[in-house]
Amino acid sequence: MYLLYTVIASLVCYLFLKWMKKRTYYTDVKRLDGKTVLITGGNAGIGKETAVALAMRGARVIIACRDLDKAEKAVREIKIRSHNINVIHMELDLANMRSIRDFSKTFLQREKRLDILINNAGMPSVLDWTDDNFSMCFGVNHLGHFLLTNLLLGRLKESAPSRVVTLTCSNYKYQKLDFQDLNYNLLPFFTYCRSKLANIYFSQELGRIMEGKGVTTYAVHPGYVQSSWTYHYSILFQMLMKVIMFMFFVPCESGAQTVVYCAVSEEAANHSGGYFIDCRPATLRPFARDAGVAKKLWEASERLVKLA
């Protein structure tokens, strides 16, 4: 009898794990020859797999990273895997507003097109601060990409039809924004959740502002992915998370599929401002669809990054 229970339990666990890891693979091979793609944090994880997929389609791919040694290694790997030599890296630190402005100035001087911007880089739940005294999660995940996108928006419009894909997370549902304390940094997990909610509002409001101007926007939850974000934590925590990620999380290549889908597919073009999971539009919680809050966050963000 115990053997039967063990077999049944094992089968249930196997089916559960298989269901957890089931993801749609985007198989359309639409070419991107002549297109320029910019990916923040494209030196590892989902960003690198996205870079490979888009470079394989013929795009010129630029990965923007803080660590130039890792970026150089990633560029070599992307070139080999994609059989595309038109892959470069540029230095960008999203935790530093001056770095973002310098990067944008250099990019606009060098690059005549920007067809796809993928706001991929992100910080996990860490208790730290940016160089401009914003909480690390909110500063990098939202404000850094907010400033970067706005500084490059002119080039995106010139290159229309163009797309902006911003990575978020389903954890957005655990928090709401507090406009009295946008820079909240007491409990790192909640700060992370707020930053991911901010990504969604940002994508929605950008879509509204760009309506009819040839720039479409998407917020993507890539799933729970076997990425390298745990390096910010202790060795013990990293070891524990490796086991958990192996059992329950999907590979980075799988996590990149919805990002690639939103960057490339014709179907996604009709859902600007939408939220996507597993290569299809998904429904947000009602509070995350509040256009008034999205507009208010946009205006507050303009002031914080000194665009207003």
Assess whether the previous peptide bond of 161 is cis (omega < 30° from 0): yes
Q: How far is CA 286 from the centre of its chain?
A: 22
**Amino acid making up residue 92:** L
DSSP state of 283: P
Query: Cβ–Cβ contacts within 10 Å for residue 255, how many?
Result: 24
In angstroms, rounded to a whole number, what is the distance separating the alpha carbons of residues 115 and 56? 16
- In angstroms, the Cα distances linking 10 to 4, 6, 190, 242 are 10, 6, 35, 21
Does residue 183 sit in helix, strand or coil? coil
CA within 13 Å, CB half, 15: 6
Task: Answer yes or no: 192 catalytic.
Answer: yes
DSSP state of 249: P
Q: CB under 8 Å to 114, separation ≥6 — which residues?
A: 36, 38, 107, 152, 155, 156, 159, 162
Q: How far is CA 75 from the centre of its chain?
A: 19
Which is the catalytic residue, given 26, 192, 201, 275? Answer: 192
In angstroms, rounded to a whole number, what is the distance separating the alpha carbons of residues 44 and 167? 14
Residues labelled as active-site residues: 192
